[in-house]
Amino acid sequence: MVETPKAVIQLLPKSEKSKYHSLLSVIFFFPLTLSLAFSVYAFLVLGRQKPKYILAEDSVTVREVDHLKIVNVSRMWYYQSKLLATSSENIAIQTPWLAPIVWDGTFQIKILNQQFRLQNVSIGLVVFATGEYVAFLKAFLQTAETYFMEGHRVKYYIFTDQPASVPLVKPSKGRQMVILEAQASAHPLNTYIYRMEVISLFSQERFAKEVDYLVCAHVNMVFCNSVGVEILSSLFGTLHPLFFEFPRQMLAYERQPQSQAYISEDEGDFYYSGAFFGGKVLEVYRLTKLCYQAMMLDQAAHIQVMRHDESYLNKYLLHNKPTKVLSPEYMWNKEFLNRQRFLEEFINGEMFANVLYVIAYEVKVMLKSQGQES
């Protein structure tokens, strides 16, 4: 743009000057008016449009680089970590987005315990035990007392429709049992929807005031080995033991395009179990809230997904990458489950239930035998 010299403007007649100034006003205010109008349009019209899939609306890679705080630790003895170690299995210990994959032996629990104790963290373990699932609660709590977050502050949040049937398991020092009334439903889908709704509501109204991290687990699980602070992160998921070696086309994602949980065959990182997930309270709140909203939308549209809440969890974790991924070791019992045989039977079509149900069956057998003995 060529500017008109001030001397030339002064020589112009008054009528020409007013025309010139009017032209300048139009040139200046027209783009401003256009920009303002577009902003109003975007706010009023575009702002009302919902994204196609609400579980993808955040669409972040890693919301937080979840490194532990730098703390001074006292002198302690522990074995030196090896950078080069021979292994019979070629396993990944890091995701493509640089989140650690936690396998047994890839961490030094003594160091982690001291770091988390110095931060004085508290952990909430959330479990739902309604209807016939109350029978699993005793084994769940007893094994959690032995193996879950040993030496750290823990609150058991037990949602049940039968408070009087909660077993008398005395928590150890630094632990507390909180019994909260919940509704029971004969329909499994309603149970999963209700679980997501309740966790999101309590995360916002109560959990955020009482604990730093939340771990959500299914009650028909038992803890067979130590599960400690190595799992804690802003957001963690657990690799499903059935699918961790399968290509994405064979993963049990929801394939109905009209569903909120839909994942196409050319998408996906891993398949996560719905039986064990968690993170910081705010992240668990975001996860459960969006999953609940997506489940309600599908229910209103009469869309039934393949794997209930697990389908929505996987859709959420696809677009909101976890900052830590737990290996399948956290979802099977090495003592009674031969992984190679299990996979062969699954591939041959002889076994279709997931590992959680195998573990639940073992618990049922144990409970039955205890009843016969008594």
**Residues annotated within a binding site:** 133, 240, 310
Tell me the H-state helices in the chain: 6-11, 14-44, 109-118, 137-147, 188-202, 208-210, 281-300, 308-319, 339-347, 355-373
Helix 281-300 / helix 308-319 crossing angle, nearest 10 deg: 120
Give strand pairing partners of 176. 155
Say how far apart CA 24 and CA 20 lie, in whole Å: 6
> Considering 230, 254, 283, 310, which one is annotated as catalytic?
310
Say how far apart CA 131 and CA 178 lie, in whole Å: 18
Asked if residue 204 lies in contact with residue 285, where contact means CB atoms within 8 angstroms, the answer is: yes
Is 310 designated active site? yes
Asked if residue 196 lies in contact with residue 292, where contact means CB atoms within 8 angstroms, the answer is: yes
Burial of 282 (0-12, 13-18, 19+ CB in 10 A): middle
Minimal CA–CA distance to 337: which of 224, 219, 217, 220? 224
Q: Binding site for UDP-N-acetyl-alpha-D-galactosamine: what residues are annotated?
A: 133
Asked if residue 138 lies in contact with residue 193, where contact means CB atoms within 8 angstroms, the answer is: no
Say how far apart CA 323 and CA 232 lie, in whole Å: 9
Report residue 235: phi and psi, to 5°.
-155, 120
Asked if residue 192 lies in contact with residue 306, where contact means CB atoms within 8 angstroms, the answer is: no
Report residue 128: phi and psi, to 5°.
-110, 130
The Cβ-side half-sphere exposure at 57, using a 13 Å CA radius, reads: 15
State CA 74 to chain mean position distance: 33
Q: Are strands 122-129 and 213-217 parallel, antiparallel or unpaired?
A: parallel
Catalytic annotation, residues: 310
